[in-house]
Structure 1
Amino acid sequence: MRLRHAAAGALLMLGSAFTQAGEPAHFTGTWSVAWCDKARPDQACGGFTAHLLQQGSRLCGAHSGATPNLSRLDEGGDLSIVGTVVADTAVLTIRSGRNDSVHLVTARQHGGTLDWQLIDTVLRSDTDTEVIPTREKLTKAATVTPAQGFDGMQKACLAHWQTGR
């Protein structure tokens, strides 16, 4: 837990220094990708979804992931993503709800897409494998209405920022 907070604190300080130079990109929203098994089109598709809330250079969110055929699920919880925004790039940590591993990710915004790249593992787990993409292109939901799970995540992030934890 200490590692997560130390990494997040360093990222927040880095982000506040860099975002003063320019307007940060807007990451608030629901970003996702579908994963389907082309060899088995009869099976359910899985995918990865990140609900993100940005306030200035701060970023907070929740994620969920599922493999094709929904054989493995990873529900991250309301504060499973924390990080900072530096111009058009978010630097964040993501904690797996499946095995508590923590990863460092960059997510670069290009219009309606987010280039997601897992950079490093901050805290490794010896248990089951998480469902977090290593490299993927996420698409922002076009809907004006918040996606299911967004409201709860937003409340948790705002409370987290108010308490300064």
Structure 2
Amino acid sequence: MHKQLKLFLVANSLFLLAGGMLGPLYALFVRDIGGDILAVGASWSIFMVVSGLGIFFMGKIQDKIKKDKSFIIVGYGLMSLGFLGYFFISNVIQLFLVQILLGISMMIQTPVLDSFYTKYLESGKFASQWAVWEGMYFVIMGIAALIGAIFVKVFGFKNLFLVMFLLSLIGLFVAMQLKEKND
């Protein structure tokens, strides 16, 4: 596996770990800030729709600009800010705003993460190297869910958000070490 892919997997793993710690606990957090089941659904919907619609747009832009690393850094940076934003949320409206920010981060990074990864795949190893990417996602998210649950039980959501932010900053620093590959 190419050195850049290994570095990229480390960076992305840190973001997956950070975000995955909140994943299954999200509805409990929304309840804690005064939200109900509708707020959970609406806030998740906002995130998904902003992400999804933006991905169509960003894919076309990124195909023209071809600066994967720059988009990765911006996307990861916005995600880090979103994770920090959770720390300051005290009501559902603020949650909606953070979900918009996180949706924007996903719309920027989703096409470019796939583009960057694809450029460094070794010929004849496409399936196995994509399996590393996909398998890593599920394993890390599974581990993160348990870590997040234990962490919130012991230290609470506010401290979890600080840990998420810190992990994402480390991931951002690692991503800054990536090198562009020309087509």
**Structure 1 length as normaliser, TM-score?**
0.29
Which of structures 1 and 2 has the bigger CA Rg?
2
**Structure 2 length as normaliser, TM-score?**
0.27
Structure with bigger helix share is: 2
Structure with bigger strand share is: 1
